[in-house]
Amino acid sequence: MPRRIRFVEALREGMRQEMERDPSVFVMGEGVGPHGSCFKQTEGFTAQFGEDRSRDTPISELAIAGTAAGAALLGMRPIADLMWIDFSMLAMDQICNQAAKLRYISNGQVNVPVVYRMTTGRSKSNAAHHSGSFYSWYINTPGLKVVVPSTPYDAKGLIVSAIRDNGPVIYLEHKLLLNMRGEVPEEVYEIPLGVADVKREGADLTLVATGAMVGLSLAAAEAVAKDGASVEVIDPRTLMPYDGDAILASVRKTGRLLVVDEGYRYCGFASELIAFVAEKALEVLHQPPRQLTTRHTTIPFSPPMEEFVFPDAARIAGEIRAMLDITAQGDSSNG
pLDDT in tens, 70-79: 999 999 999 9
> Where along the chain do the CATH 3.40.50.920 domains lie?
197-324
> What gap in Å lies between CA 14 and CA 27, rounded to an integer?
13
DSSP 191: -
Q: For residue 78, give the 3-state DSSP assignment.
A: strand
DSSP 187: S
- pLDDT tens-digit readout, 211-236: 999 999 999 999 999 999 999 999 99
> What gap in Å lies between CA 131 and CA 147, rounded to an integer?
18
Q: Are 324 and 226 a contacting pair, CB within 8 Å?
A: no
User: What is the CB neighbour count within 10 angstroms for residue 223?
Assistant: 20
Q: Are 263 and 283 a contacting pair, CB within 8 Å?
A: no
Backbone φ, ψ for residue 258 (5° rounding): -130, 125
> What gap in Å lies between CA 240 and CA 169, rounded to an integer?
10
Q: Which residue among 35, 130, 174, 286 is the active-site one?
A: 130
pLDDT reading at 45 higher than 80? yes
Strand partners, 146: 170, 240
pLDDT of residue 3: 92
Of 1 and 180, which is predicted with more confidence? 180
Strand partners, 78: 26
> What gap in Å lies between CA 111 and CA 118, rounded to an integer?
22
Rounded mean pLDDT, 276-294: 97
pLDDT band at 333 (very low <50, low <70, confident <90, very high): very low
pLDDT reading at 138 higher than 80? yes
pLDDT reading at 208 higher than 60? yes
pLDDT of residue 125: 78
CATH number for the domain whose boundaries are 197-324: 3.40.50.920
pLDDT reading at 20 higher than 80? yes
pLDDT band at 128 (very low <50, low <70, confident <90, very high): confident
Lowest mean pLDDT across 167-176, 241-250, 295-304: 295-304
Q: Which of 320, 167, 182 is nearest to 238 (CA)?
A: 167
**How large a percentage of the chain has pLDDT more than 90?**
91
> Where along the chain do the CATH 3.40.50.970 domains lie?
4-183
Q: What is the DSSP string of 110-170?
A: -----EEEEEES--SS--TTS----HHHHHTSTT-EEE---SHHHHHHHHHHHHH-SS-EE
Contacts of 7 (CB under 8 A, 6+ apart): 149, 151, 152, 155, 173, 177, 178, 179, 180, 181, 182
Q: Are 324 and 314 a contacting pair, CB within 8 Å?
A: no
DSSP 2: -
- pLDDT tens-digit readout, 294-331: 999 999 899 999 989 999 999 999 999 999 999 876 55
Rounded mean pLDDT, 163-182: 97
What residue ranges in the chain does DSSP mark as E strands? 4-6, 25-29, 54-56, 77-84, 115-120, 145-147, 169-174, 181-183, 197-200, 205-209, 231-235, 238-240, 257-264, 290-294
pLDDT band at 85 (very low <50, low <70, confident <90, very high): very high
Strand partners, 206: 232, 257
pLDDT of residue 335: 32
130 is catalytic: yes
- pLDDT tens-digit readout, 48-67: 999 999 999 999 999 999 99
pLDDT reading at 27 higher than 90? yes
Q: If you classify domain 4-183 with CATH, what class do you get?
A: alpha beta
pLDDT reading at 332 higher than 60? no
